[in-house]
Chain A
């Protein structure tokens, strides 16, 4: 390191550096993660292409073909009303994914600004967090049953019932990230540069929350899919006119002894879907949050 006058700037790094800040470090993912990704991709494709892939109308009843075994006409067999099980499972994926992704998105969209406000303003903090504590005390299944018994159950009411208890988790996470990030000198620097509070919050604080939020939203997505299935299974969810994995299983329960595949196929789809989302969420967490990463044989 030479000591020439400052304008020579002799401490300019000569080492080649990557052009852009890498948000997602490139590394080969493990095989479990690959399998999970492929499974989830297949489920998503199946849900989107259900109208074209499904061999039958999922609602078309055919009393003559009740409880058929798998065959050329009904690949996975038919249910007690003679409806094609494969078509119903494919359509069921749509509801599950919409509820899962929708709940995750809505809870982030509502929770993120609330969390930033709570983390930034001391006055709002106690107010927002007490409301969140209240919401957290509500079990989602009971809330859903209450809402559904007051108003008719449709996709939106079920989604609302699932989302509301998830919002406090998002708010808490965002708040904790903001609380530590606001102590960073670059945030203080932004304040002394005359940046408005909204600029400070959105430009300097919010990006810190994105990585943990991505991870959190995968967990919310998985748990929302599961809760939706539970609600449908209990009969408190979306009506049987819309096939969901939950209500297919619910109807199949009656015929479990003579035709277990009515529960098996939607059940296995549900399990694979949730396992895949959770595995991908774990992988995202390992990548985005270096503190939680497994340490390779450190001391």
Chain B
């Protein structure tokens, strides 16, 4: 990492230079979004732009591309130069030429960035049609196939003729990268390109970007909120907050000696991959138990049976067994499609398990009818992923908090008094009761959702990716809150997450799932500290920034190393 940094310092003319960039909103009292941004990128360098939501990192990249939404954001000052050409004064026509040939961008959602009505090969070819007028159609096709090969897609002839929906998320992101690099731009802007991908896919995409960058000498402006990714790929890092640059440093220096308090906080908030010590077992009472739980999708229809066709069933979860004791936290980790959310929803009886049992406080609820289930519902409560959708926007916080208790016969006044206590418990002011969800930030809403679940005095909390939508510093606060609540109230937590760092810090036991099957289950310190199953190992190996202990500002000792025998990428490729 430090070698790259010195290489960057040696380079002379920067590819991209931004000086005093100011952007404001178009509203009548213009609100500043960027307040004088300064940074530059040397040829072949990777600059990571990090910051939490609202820090202005995406606005910066859009300003460079000249893609600020017209009528809502405008550049009011400063200078952006791409290889010496000032971008802010150029004509839209010239900017369009520059956008494809000298700078290109890839986005977070490869799903929406591709036109669903065009074959992917044609979409890449379109770029050549626009900007390389001299090429014949055979030459264009050859060039596109060459790019598809460079981004390491299998069976490139077939991929060329595929529709976007036929490709996986990782493959689509590879297509986007091929499209961005087909004209060999000098600057690649990547706005959270791997955030929507699974860790193993993320690792491959990051590696691919690095390889292509070395091959073509491209400079990369990489926007991310994930310090792990930053540690893995950055040459230099530019930390942003509230529309201003907080500090810019080579990566090694930033991770070891952050200059500002904010960067220090940002790094300290990153949970460590090293599992925390398991808590002492104080209570052996099993509060939640899953026995041979199974969920199949796609029941055999009568027509399919009559016509003798094989039924297309998907096994979302099978033979899932676990036991959760009072006051403990069990984490279910896995990538998308592993069945972890299916298990959570079966346990909550939001979907019906097709086989097996769910015991809450010793009572099997898997096959109870609606009325019989009602008394048991309050024992197990859920915290959802998206705090912006889990609270009814039309109800006050107070109304949301007392809904559950009132349903179970608590008088309104008493329930309201309890709601006020709960708000204090989760660290919100009492006057929040009369306010509406839109008046709170994401982290606050998640606190409210926790208070709502606690109002039922449950024995089990099911948290489905409950901190995944939050910035790291807010995430750290919410995790601390959950820990504190658990210690005070002795509630057991079933914690579903894709984030191994979070799992390592909050779980006592961990269950790893892959394609509906439990592959490893045991104490967190063992499963995450010394994984046995190759899938768990590959997940750990794919975790970004796994060599670094962010909160201690030093490298981790005893890092899990890749087994010399197997290529880790190949093991888990879906």
Interface set of A (CB-CB < 8 Å, partner B): 1-3, 5-13, 17-21, 184-186, 188-196, 199, 203-204, 207, 296-299
Q: Could you tell me the distance between the alpha carbons of A236 and B140 in the complex, rounded to whole angstroms?
A: 69
Q: Which residues of A contact B381 (CB under 8 A)?
A: 192-193
Instruction: Indicate which residue in B52, B382, B392, B481 contacts A192 across the interface (CB closer than 8 Å).
Output: B382
Report yes or no: B386 in contact with A185, Cβ–Cβ below 8 A.
yes
* 17 intermolecular pairs with C-beta atoms under 8 Å apart: A1-B265, A3-B473, A6-B427, A6-B478, A9-B428, A9-B444, A17-B435, A20-B436, A21-B393, A21-B394, A21-B438, A190-B403, A191-B350, A193-B381, A195-B404, A196-B407, A298-B71
**Smallest CB separation, A7 vs chain B (Å):** 5
Which chain B residue has the least Cβ–Cβ distance from A190?
B403
Report yes or no: B474 in contact with A11, Cβ–Cβ below 8 A.
yes
Report yes or no: B348 in contact with A192, Cβ–Cβ below 8 A.
yes
**Smallest CB separation, A200 vs chain B (Å):** 10
Q: Could you tell me the distance between the alpha carbons of A203 and B120 in the complex, rounded to whole angstroms?
A: 45
**Smallest CB separation, A279 vs chain B (Å):** 25
Report yes or no: B473 in contact with A9, Cβ–Cβ below 8 A.
no
Report yes or no: B70 in contact with A298, Cβ–Cβ below 8 A.
yes
Instruction: Indicate which residue in B350, B378, B481, B484 contacts A194 across the interface (CB closer than 8 Å).
Output: B378
Report yes or no: A195 in contact with B474, Cβ–Cβ below 8 A.
no
Which chain A residue has the least Cβ–Cβ distance from B482?
A6
Tell me, yes or no, whether B476 is within 8 Å of chain A by CB: yes
Interface residue count for B (Cβ, 8 Å)? 55
**Smallest CB separation, A130 vs chain B (Å):** 19
Report yes or no: A13 in contact with B440, Cβ–Cβ below 8 A.
yes
Assuming the contacts A5-B480, A6-B480, A185-B386, asked whether A207 and B428 have C-beta atoms less than 8 A apart, the reply is no
Tell me, yes or no, whether B308 is within 8 Å of chain A by CB: no
**Smallest CB separation, B215 vs chain A (Å):** 32
Q: Could you tell me the distance between the alpha carbons of A5 and B348 in the complex, rounded to whole angstroms?
A: 30
Which chain B residue has the least Cβ–Cβ distance from A5?
B480
Report yes or no: A184 in contact with B436, Cβ–Cβ below 8 A.
no
Task: Mark interface residues in B261-304 (1 if CB within 8 Å of A CB, else 0).
Answer: 00001001100000000000000000000000000000000000
Interface SS of chain A: helix, strand, loop or mixed? loop
Q: Which residues of B contact A207 (CB under 8 A)?
A: 394
Task: Mark interface residues in B420-446 (1 if CB within 8 Å of A CB, else 0).
Answer: 000000111100000110111101100
Q: Could you tell me the distance between the alpha carbons of A194 and B386 in the complex, rounded to whole angstroms?
A: 21
Report yes or no: A188 in contact with B394, Cβ–Cβ below 8 A.
no
Q: Could you tell me the distance between the alpha carbons of A188 and B348 in the complex, rounded to whole angstroms?
A: 10
Q: Could you tell me the distance between the alpha carbons of A207 and B394 in the complex, rounded to whole angstroms?
A: 8
Report yes or no: B70 in contact with A11, Cβ–Cβ below 8 A.
no
Which chain A residue has the least Cβ–Cβ distance from B265?
A3
Report yes or no: B403 in contact with A297, Cβ–Cβ below 8 A.
no
Assuming the contacts A21-B393, A192-B348, A192-B350, asked whether A299 and B70 have C-beta atoms less than 8 A apart, the reply is yes
Which chain B residue has the least Cβ–Cβ distance from A19?
B435
- The 3 residue pairs across chains A and B that have the minimum distance between CB atoms: A9-B427, A193-B404, A6-B481
Instruction: Indicate which residue in B385, B392, B471, B474 contacts A204 across the interface (CB closer than 8 Å).
Output: B392
**Smallest CB separation, A122 vs chain B (Å):** 13
Report yes or no: B389 in contact with A185, Cβ–Cβ below 8 A.
yes
Q: Could you tell me the distance between the alpha carbons of A297 and B408 in the complex, rounded to whole angstroms?
A: 52
**Smallest CB separation, A3 vs chain B (Å):** 5
Q: Could you tell me the distance between the alpha carbons of A18 and B434 in the complex, rounded to whole angstroms?
A: 12
Tell me, yes or no, whether B29 is within 8 Å of chain A by CB: no
Q: Could you tell me the distance between the alpha carbons of A297 and B68 in the complex, rounded to whole angstroms?
A: 12
Tell me, yes or no, whether B477 is within 8 Å of chain A by CB: yes
**Smallest CB separation, A198 vs chain B (Å):** 12
Q: Which of B466-515 contact A (CB under 8 A)?
A: 471, 473-474, 476-478, 480-481, 484
Report yes or no: B407 in contact with A194, Cβ–Cβ below 8 A.
yes
Q: Which residues of B contact A193 (CB under 8 A)?
A: 377-378, 381, 403-404, 407, 452, 456
**Smallest CB separation, B408 vs chain A (Å):** 6
Q: Which residues of A contact B377 (CB under 8 A)?
A: 192-194
**Smallest CB separation, A183 vs chain B (Å):** 9
Q: Could you tell me the distance between the alpha carbons of A19 and B435 in the complex, rounded to whole angstroms?
A: 7
Assuming the contacts A1-B471, A9-B428, A13-B439, asked whether A194 and B404 have C-beta atoms less than 8 A apart, the reply is yes
Report yes or no: B71 in contact with A297, Cβ–Cβ below 8 A.
yes
**Smallest CB separation, A241 vs chain B (Å):** 48
**Smallest CB separation, B37 vs chain A (Å):** 20
Tell me, yes or no, whether B69 is within 8 Å of chain A by CB: yes
**Smallest CB separation, B376 vs chain A (Å):** 10
**Smallest CB separation, B377 vs chain A (Å):** 5
Q: Which residues of B contact A186 (CB under 8 A)?
A: 389-392
Q: Could you tell me the distance between the alpha carbons of A9 and B391 in the complex, rounded to whole angstroms?
A: 19
Which chain A residue has the least Cβ–Cβ distance from B52?
A1
Q: Could you tell me the distance between the alpha carbons of A254 and B238 in the complex, rounded to whole angstroms?
A: 84
Instruction: Indicate which residue in B382, B393, B408, B435 contacts A188 across the interface (CB closer than 8 Å).
Output: B382
Q: Which residues of A contact B394 (CB under 8 A)?
A: 21, 207
Which chain B residue has the least Cβ–Cβ distance from A16?
B439
Tell me, yes or no, whether B526 is within 8 Å of chain A by CB: no
Q: Could you tell me the distance between the alpha carbons of A5 and B478 in the complex, rounded to whole angstroms?
A: 10
Tell me, yes or no, whether B67 is within 8 Å of chain A by CB: yes
**Smallest CB separation, A175 vs chain B (Å):** 20
Q: Which residues of A contact B380 (CB under 8 A)?
A: 192
Q: Could you tell me the distance between the alpha carbons of A17 and B390 in the complex, rounded to whole angstroms?
A: 20
Q: Which residues of A contact B439 (CB under 8 A)?
A: 13, 17-18
Known pairs A3-B265, A17-B439 / 9 extra A-B pairs, C-beta < 8 Å = A3-B477, A6-B478, A7-B427, A9-B426, A184-B389, A186-B389, A192-B380, A194-B378, A297-B70
Tell me, yes or no, whether B160 is within 8 Å of chain A by CB: no
Q: Could you tell me the distance between the alpha carbons of A23 and B307 in the complex, rounded to whole angstroms?
A: 53
Instruction: Indicate which residue in A1, A191, A296, A297 contacts B473 across the interface (CB closer than 8 Å).
Output: A1
Q: Could you tell me the distance between the alpha carbons of A62 and B562 in the complex, rounded to whole angstroms?
A: 106
Report yes or no: B474 in contact with A1, Cβ–Cβ below 8 A.
yes
Report yes or no: B69 in contact with A299, Cβ–Cβ below 8 A.
yes
Q: Could you tell me the distance between the alpha carbons of A9 and B385 in the complex, rounded to whole angstroms?
A: 20
Report yes or no: A6 in contact with B484, Cβ–Cβ below 8 A.
yes
Q: Which residues of B contact A7 (CB under 8 A)?
A: 427, 484
Q: Which residues of B contact A1 (CB under 8 A)?
A: 52, 265, 471, 473-474
Q: Could you tell me the distance between the alpha carbons of A260 and B499 in the complex, rounded to whole angstroms?
A: 79
Tell me, yes or no, whether B102 is within 8 Å of chain A by CB: no
Q: Which one of B52, B391, B441, B477 has the highest number of Cβ atoms from chain A below 10 Å of its Cβ?
A: B477
Q: Which residues of B contact A203 (CB under 8 A)?
A: 392, 395
Which chain A residue has the least Cβ–Cβ distance from B481?
A6
Report yes or no: B350 in contact with A188, Cβ–Cβ below 8 A.
yes
Q: Could you tell me the distance between the alpha carbons of A297 and B67 in the complex, rounded to whole angstroms?
A: 13
Which chain B residue has the least Cβ–Cβ distance from A17?
B439
Tell me, yes or no, whether B374 is within 8 Å of chain A by CB: yes
Q: Which residues of A contact B52 (CB under 8 A)?
A: 1
**Smallest CB separation, B261 vs chain A (Å):** 9
Q: Could you tell me the distance between the alpha carbons of A5 and B483 in the complex, rounded to whole angstroms?
A: 11
Q: Could you tell me the distance between the alpha carbons of A185 and B429 in the complex, rounded to whole angstroms?
A: 25
**Smallest CB separation, B51 vs chain A (Å):** 11
Which chain B residue has the least Cβ–Cβ distance from A183?
B389
Q: Could you tell me the distance between the alpha carbons of A100 and B435 in the complex, rounded to whole angstroms?
A: 38
Report yes or no: B69 in contact with A195, Cβ–Cβ below 8 A.
no
Q: Which residues of B contact A194 (CB under 8 A)?
A: 374, 377-378, 404, 407-408, 456
Q: Which residues of A contact B57 (CB under 8 A)?
A: none
**Smallest CB separation, B325 vs chain A (Å):** 22
Report yes or no: B389 in contact with A9, Cβ–Cβ below 8 A.
no
Q: Could you tell me the distance between the alpha carbons of A293 and B105 in the complex, rounded to whole angstroms?
A: 29
**Smallest CB separation, B218 vs chain A (Å):** 26
Report yes or no: A6 in contact with B70, Cβ–Cβ below 8 A.
no
**Smallest CB separation, A201 vs chain B (Å):** 13
Report yes or no: B452 in contact with A189, Cβ–Cβ below 8 A.
yes
Q: Could you tell me the distance between the alpha carbons of A191 and B370 in the complex, rounded to whole angstroms?
A: 10
Q: Could you tell me the distance between the alpha carbons of A11 and B445 in the complex, rounded to whole angstroms?
A: 10
**Smallest CB separation, B271 vs chain A (Å):** 12
Tell me, yes or no, whether B550 is within 8 Å of chain A by CB: no
Which chain A residue has the least Cβ–Cβ distance from B427?
A9
Instruction: Indicate which residue in B69, B265, B374, B403 contacts A298 across the interface (CB closer than 8 Å).
Output: B69
